Structure 1
């Protein structure tokens, strides 16, 4: 079976594209790292790929806020192509800085939360410092069809961010995220229970322990932790447990076939 081609977008300052490519390859996909400028010039096209990953790093040096400038580029240059990509049901995954960009571009969480613009965002961690540590995530039973095969699973991933706290415009937005099944990942404790906002299980103070969300189509998914950095058991400080982040990429590649 021919591996599905997976587009991995590289902007100036992106630094996790290589890790994402390794994860896609390990999951059975064909990773293709493409510069944003090459996409803009038409040297590569979204339509020629079966899935999209927007990886982590510090795109454009976090100018204007983490992921903000990349978000502007996605909206200004690629709005039609991205809309067609999502309409075709091709899975999209944003990780850390990529998640920030998808939220700030308006691709996440989507229009089902009402007419107000930007009902959620990602902002500075509650403790005001960069967080670099291992955390536990539970994959929630959300709208995402391509994540469904791993729903309920707990995985271990590192986080590495200074602006990873999911902040909502109000309690009604938080309630809507749950009611509409848009919460894709949640921070949990060692027993697999919601972290309850407690540090370090919830590393950044995200509302309702939300680590990642999906859009109303279930096609677009984003999260702050880095599943691409746990694709083999030797990468974790707990190799006997080995709850691999690779499972997320296996689900993405399978949906792209």
Structure 2
């Protein structure tokens, strides 16, 4: 959006923990120049000249980098710094660009994941900056839809792997076509010029999650306002029924 960003992130700590020292340092050096000792370690001709104490220091340094590579705060620091530098360069100014610290919420189930993804992908539609998800600039769903005609999914995005199986694959537990249809129908509901409703039985994602369309709309629209640090269908339903009881009383 013009003044803020939304991201749905997956923190793969298991993958970070499985990386070797060489892989960790190589990844970190894609982001930063790194310490001289680490740069010497990555040079095969210089690594053999390092002492045991220096190698221990490199290993300790790799442990620090390993934690940072799966840390949301470090990710946001890198992203926000890059955007701030670009914006200040365009505006020919210096100083703080972002108003405050980012907000993060844990997505605890499939319903929360789908709702948050739809909320982010539909930001331009809800703000009337785009008429359809496919014409929404700077969104993941636009990249996914443009790539839908090929056999490949965007490399920068976590792929759809279909419905959950006994052995979970590394990806989003939805079919791409089901998610596209769900976002399209949800966008029609929120866009003032395209009113529409979702039949839950027509959406495999909602049917499997066991969520009715009225709760789905409230969950999507209330991602930022109705939830604090955690998002789940159980929390949404609990709050909804508590509010209903209170209002009835």
Calculate the TM-score normalised by the size of structure 1. Answer: 0.29
Calculate the TM-score normalised by the size of structure 2. Answer: 0.29
| Larger helix fraction of residues | 2
Q: Which has the larger radius of gyration?
A: 2
